[in-house]
Structures are given as C-alpha cells and as structure tokens.
C-alpha cells in the first residue's frame, strides 16, 4: 500500500503523504499507475458528461476535461510530452537533446505536438459523450499509464542521473506492461467490441516505438518519456473509441 500512496503522491494532486520511497517502492508505484489513471480518466469523463448535459458544446467540454486532467496531474505528463518532442526535434548528440529537454521552454516541436495530441484527446472525448465518455476515458488513461512500465522495463538505463527516470529505469519485468495491456484490452472489448482491443494495441505499439526511439536518441529513458508515453497512449485509445462510437 505504500507503493499505492507513492503513486497517488507522484501522479496526482491529492494530498497524500508517502514519504521518501524505500527500496522497490518506486518500481511498485509504476505498477499502480494504470488504476490511478483509470480514476483520473473517469473523473474527466464525468466532467464531459455533466457539461454536455447542460448544453456545453462537445469540443469545449472535451477541452475542459483535458484541462482537468492536466491540473489533476500537475501538468507533469503534458510537460513530459512537450520536452520529449523538443528533444527529438533537435540535432546533436544525446547530451544536446537532454539539455534541450531540461531547458524548460517550449519550442515549435513541443507546441505542435501538444496541439495535436491534446486536440485529439479533447475532440475524441467530446465526440463520445454520456457514459461512454466516462468508460472510454478510464480505459484510455489507464492504458496511457500502463506504458510507464514498458518504458521503464528491464534493460533500459536512465538517460541522466537523478529524477524520477533514474529511480525507476530498468525496474519493470516485461510481463508487467503486457499483463496490463491484456487486462485493458479485455475492458476495451467489453466497452466497444473489437475496437477496444484494437485501441489498446495501437497505444501499445506507439509506446513500444517511442521507447525504442527515445532510448536510442537519449541514451536511455527519462521521466519526460514516461509522460510522453502516457499522453500518446491516452490519445490513441480515445481516438479509436471515438471512431467506433
């Protein structure tokens, strides 16, 4: 349960006191990330449902839900997506890319990536509406966070010392993300037939490709890549489920 408390402390704005992680707790917190994400996603879906009920335009409701998710996670995953985009977009050795990512500014690659990925999330949430938005957002957010455990799988070193990436790099057996993806594919099937597993499979493929590319480009994984995997996976699932609705 200390790992769950740590996951809530790291991944949400909830005032959970977890203290400094003991040996193995950081790795355990990543395994709790999908259920934490499901709760956040369900909250965003409920917001879309409620706003749509009172006549708020679908796209506006979706945008507000995406804003809620950013606030509820301190913007960490969105920031990670932006930094990863800028790091991949620059020239030079891994050290140069990591320096760009650490700079804190948002370059053109970050801006365009944020517009596209968050726009897909908002538009898809708005298109779903009703209880479908609640269930789809829960599955999508859980799937995005299941990508954490693939990015931090055995054999992938930390790109830089210090930070969240260094605490969890190489900590996850490969069966952990696979198990989460299978469970979430089953949930997706219950929600949308074969579109559901297809959505989870697309998110998994994007995560696998992102992890492989960033590990080569940056010399390992970082906390920013965790955020990027989460946002991309969430967007992929929402897009497919919206298309199936």
Provide DSSP, 48-67: HHHHHHTT--HHHHHHHHHH
203 or 18: which carries more pLDDT confidence? 203
Indicate if the pLDDT at residue 44 is higher than 70. Answer: yes
Three-state secondary structure call for residue 145: helix
Angle at 154 between CA 139 and CA 80, to 5 degrees: 50
Report residue 145's pLDDT band, with 50, 70 and 90 as the boundaries: very high
For residue 162, the model assigns a pLDDT of 76
For residue 16, the model assigns a pLDDT of 79
Question: Any idea what DSSP says for residue 152?
Answer: T
For residue 106, the model assigns a pLDDT of 80
For residue 108, the model assigns a pLDDT of 86
Indicate if the pLDDT at residue 47 is higher than 70. Answer: yes
Question: What does the pLDDT average to over 58-85?
Answer: 95
Is 164 within 8 Å of 224 (Cβ atoms)?
no
Query: What distances in angstroms separate CA 236 from CA 20, 120, 228, one per listed residue?
Result: 34, 8, 12
Report residue 103's pLDDT band, with 50, 70 and 90 as the boundaries: confident
Report residue 83's pLDDT band, with 50, 70 and 90 as the boundaries: very high
Question: What does the pLDDT average to over 20-38?
Answer: 82
Report residue 20's pLDDT band, with 50, 70 and 90 as the boundaries: low
Q: What ranges in 129-222 are assigned the alpha helix state H?
A: 130-151, 163-168, 175-192, 195-218
Indicate if the pLDDT at residue 5 is higher than 90. Answer: no
For residue 39, the model assigns a pLDDT of 97
Indicate if the pLDDT at residue 234 is higher than 90. Answer: yes
């Amino acid at each position: 349960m200390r790992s769950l408390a740590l996951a809530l402390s790291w991944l949400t704005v909830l005032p959970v006191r977890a203290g400094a992680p003991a040996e193995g707790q950081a790795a355990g917190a990543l395994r709790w990330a999908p259920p934490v994400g499901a709760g956040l996603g369900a909250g965003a879906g409920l917001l879309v449902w409620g706003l749509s009920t009172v006549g708020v335009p679908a796209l506006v409701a979706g945008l507000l839900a995406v804003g809620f998710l950013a606030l509820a996670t301190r913007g960490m995953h969105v920031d990670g997506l932006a930094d990863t985009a800028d790091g991949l977009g620059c020239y030079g050795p891994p050290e140069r890319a990591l320096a760009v990512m650490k700079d804190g500014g948002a370059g053109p690659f970050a801006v365009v990536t944020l517009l596209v990925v968050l726009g897909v999330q908002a538009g898809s949430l708005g298109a779903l509406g009703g209880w479908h938005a609640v269930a789809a957002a829960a599955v999508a957010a859980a799937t995005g966070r299941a990508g954490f455990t693939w990015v931090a799988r055995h054999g992938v070193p930390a790109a830089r010392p210090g930070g969240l990436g260094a605490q969890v790099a190489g900590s996850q057996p490969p069966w952990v993300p696979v198990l989460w993806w299978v469970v979430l594919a089953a949930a997706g099937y219950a929600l949308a037939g074969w579109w559901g597993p297809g959505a989870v499979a697309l998110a998994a493929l994007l995560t696998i490709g992102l992890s492989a590319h960033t590990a080569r480009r940056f010399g390992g994984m970082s906390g920013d890549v965790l955020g990027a995997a989460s946002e991309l996976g969430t967007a992929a699932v929402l897009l497919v489920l919206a298309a199936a609705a």
